[in-house]
Structure 1
Amino acid sequence: MVEEVSADGRALRIGVLGGGFMGRVHSRAARSAGAVLDSVATSSPASSARAAAELGFAHSATAHGLIDRGLDVVHVCSPNDVHAEQSLRVLDSGSALICEKPLATDSQAARAVLARAEEAGVMGTVPFVYRYHPMVREARARFRAGEVGRLLTVDAGYLQDWLLGSEDENWRVESARGGPSRAFADIGSHLVDLIEFIIGDRIAALVATTRTVHPRRGGAAVTTEDTVAITAEFSGGAIGSLLISQAAPGRKNSLTVEIAGTEASMRFDQEQPERLWLGRRAESRLLVRDPDALAADAARLCAVPAGHPQGYQDAFNSFVADSYAHFAGDRPEGLPTLRDGVRAVLVTEAVLESAATRSWVDVDQV
């Protein structure tokens, strides 16, 4: 990993919009990358002051006040419905942008953010951080090297249980704040990004069905989905099956991707991120994270020696470090940008359209 500084050699001054779980994750990653934690803004002056004290920011602020400080980077970690609005303001201020997914709750707004960034010459990234597990990079490298052969099938899922019960509530359930999709936009977008990143191909068409397990939560009607099942066709001819659920008992963060080709299969399980399963007709092997044995792009993400487990925060730290390096003029391999954020919104809209029409839908390209 590289010590992250601005192009002129000074430490980056950063601000974070949002003090919830993701704001805290971003803050830890920024500190790890050597940034100066300048300002944080949450939903009220009191909570902003608490967040500043707890997370180690020099200042608390309002959202508008933070954006107007002229910081090097602003992390947007607020509820989904304000992502596009805040991102546009950040870009207009000249600050580089790291925006939590979804980049926007509809593709028109997402495209507007991308267009504004390109017009202004300001950089932005979106934290599809599961790309930053070293064994994901190893899977990608092996696929690129031809070890799997011609891709035939993809079997993937993302299962959680934190919204299993009708009494489980969160702002993401509300379409007014979270957007028209919940389970897919929240976690299914990560799954699709990870698949497409590993195989270097895109879903061209899909058919999806969704279910809302609990029509009411906390006395209020629910319009967003709890579960999604998808059959997908890839541009290169492969087919795939994806299952997404936030109501799968016992599954905390079970993100799995298995790809099968004419020569071999590979499987990555995010809850066992130090391992990659490689299967052939004559043998199966379990590869473990060891920088001395990995492809260069995987080895560079090994923050600790083999045998010392790495996890989610380590992946996030690497993503933020790569983002800062990108903003300073480097070109890190595999960095998810605003274009990837738009892609995720387009796939989400295709899923919702397919579920509504009960038909196959072509996925728009960025």
Structure 2
Amino acid sequence: MIHKHAFEALDRTLNDVMHGDSGNSSEAVFGGKVVVFGGDFRQILPVVTNGTRSKCVNDCINSSYILSKCKVLKLTKNMRLTVGCRSSDVENIIEFADWLLDIGQGNVGGPNDGQPVIDIPDDLLILNSVDPMGDLITFVYPNILDRFNELTYFKDRALLAPVNEVVQEINERMLAIFLGEEVEYPSSDSLAECEDVSEDFDPHLYSHDLLNGLKMSEMPNHRLVLKVGVPIMLLRNINHKKGLCNGTRLQVVSLGRRVIDAKVVSGTNIGYRTLISRVTLTPTDKKLPFRLKRRQFPISVCFVMTINKSQGQSLSRVGLYLKDPVFSHGQLYVALSRVKSRDGIKLVILDKESKLANKTTNVVYKEIFGNVE
């Protein structure tokens, strides 16, 4: 699900390496080397900033010349659901797996502004609740104040939401539940020197308050508030060998003035402790009229994560909070298919009047499946 230009660049590079300056060319892609692609076009497509539907589809590998020279092999069994299941549950598991595939391909639900609106089964919903968000938190994180020190408690649990604003709202509520003193870490923001800035650019127009107020998905916020015991997520690669990569989840052990002591709670290095220090980060957002430098810990609180960030993870308990419907191809499918069993997921769906509902929008670009079926 990477942008097709990355694969095409690799193709040209391998051809150059294999043939050098001989001038010989090969009709085989990747210099004649065997390359295996793995992915699911029902999932979220390459992220294109402000991209239209056609742009998102056109940037996928199945819009590249490479796919015409590939042999498509199909996987037919949902291993996440079936591995380790009891024989008595096989029928229900197959039914749930088929329902997920239908959601991923847009085969269920009626049309609404070009996208299907689907009915969610009642057993997957939290309905008739005074505090639906609270009930969803309790489902995903039962007895959290008594069990948060268990090494694997946060490993297979997560709340999901489509947008960062809702993620931050729930994280703040969860942070307030935890006992202990809050420690606040403000960032140091400044403007970076940039050669391509116009002569009319005046850095004095951008105050520190304005820079501090900027929030971007790839950057930690100016104000980072933590407590001992809360889960956090890395936003940058730190140490590949130790599994400290973008998306790795950890748990705060202690909070110092200049470093944060945390232990890994996801991946293959569970229990490994590391010290995280501040780093200088620069966003890649080209819409800004300047280059921002933010010195901050490359982490965020992670009781909740966006659906995009959860892609690729297998979880036992998932709570999906849809204050607003999903907005991109495959998001609903990705969120629902993170779990290992039907009993492991609950949804809270709010309508335009903020009332509990049992229907939600499922965004599917069916043209993406055209040449891989």
TM-score between the two structures when normalised by the length of structure 2: 0.26
Which entry has the higher C-alpha Rg, 1 or 2?
A: 2
Write 1 or 2 for the structure with the bigger share of helix.
1
TM-score between the two structures when normalised by the length of structure 1: 0.26
